[in-house]
Amino acid sequence: MSDKTTAPAADEPALQPRVDIFEDTGGITLRADLPGVPKDRLAIDVDGDTLRIEGEVVLDAPEGVEATYAEVRLARFRRAFTLSPELDTGSIEAQFRDGVLHLRIPKHAHAQPRRIEVVAG
Amino acid sequence: MYESLLTASGGLPAEFERLQREMQQALGLIARPGSIRAVAQGAFPAVNVGSTPTSVEIYAFAPGLRAEDIQVQVERGVLTIEGERKLDRPANDAKQPVYAAERFAGRFRRSVSLPDDADPERVTARYRDGVLRVSIERRQALQPRRIAVQ
């Protein structure tokens, strides 16, 4: 799994969410920080070998609020990754809570390590 | 292009620095002076401050916490947000290789200085979708008032 170098049909500038990615024998786990994104504004797409995460930041701001200082200057997160063929994109599991996305991308059964019994004889 | 690379007085590192500075300028990142309590870019949590005629609104982008893990304090005109974020990241070894570890882990503390009319007695804090919003009301007496002309 690697970062896509070419930006996906980027229409609007977006922030790159910070991620943790790690692997075990069963698959890959990805966690992404998407603070301020409500569940209904998060989109996870797999198109071919590309996994794309996109979310819109929605802050409940009172009427007439003016920004006086801002470190988060865009209201959109976007990041794309290239998946490798041993990953089973059909069975990706996603959980999203308190602005953290948990993605589990399992490997195809045939790609998982198997212990081969050595038969005496 | 090649010429400017060769004749740059500070050499390549200085050129990169200049490029970076120009890019930051283009993106408006260093366009205006920051707060004296602002910290290096990428600090956790990122903070936005907004203002209305009746309140000061502070948004701290701190995903993956529980409301009870965040301490919010107002003292002498300074709002402090602190807490700890624990991540269950595996040790990077042959069994569980880690390919990216960009997310913040550990204790954090950020301070924001408040305007003079912020009322430390009337502060509310809510945590939703990974964002802590602290609203501090402004004192009534200091709000602009329209005086009727008799």
pLDDT score at B31: 45
d(CA B9, nearest CA chain A) in Å = 32
Q: What is the DSSP letter of A46?
A: E
| Residue A25, min C-alpha distance to chain B (Å) | 7
Average pLDDT over chain B reads: 80
Mutate which: B99, B132, B136, B143, vs A, most A CBs within 10 A? B99
pLDDT tens readout for residues B82-113: 999 999 888 888 788 999 999 999 999 999 99
Distance of alpha carbon B115 from alpha carbon A45, whole angstroms: 44
- Which candidate in B129, B131, B143 is best for mutational testing of the A interface (most A CBs within 10 A)? B129
Other residues' Cβ atoms within 10 Å of the Cβ of residue B6? 9
Determine the Cα–Cα distance for residues A103 and B81; give it in Å rounded to an integer.
29
pLDDT score of B8? 43
Do A32 and A19 contact (CB within 8 A), yes or no? yes
Give me the pLDDT at residue B13, please. 63
Average pLDDT score over residue span B49-68: 93
* The pLDDT of residue A60: 86
Phi, psi for B99 (deg, rounded to 5) = -100, -25
Q: Is the ipTM of this complex over 0.85?
A: no
- B99 contacts on A by Cβ (under 8 Å): 1, 21-23
How many CB pairs below 8 A link A and B? 121
Supply the pLDDT for residue B91. 82
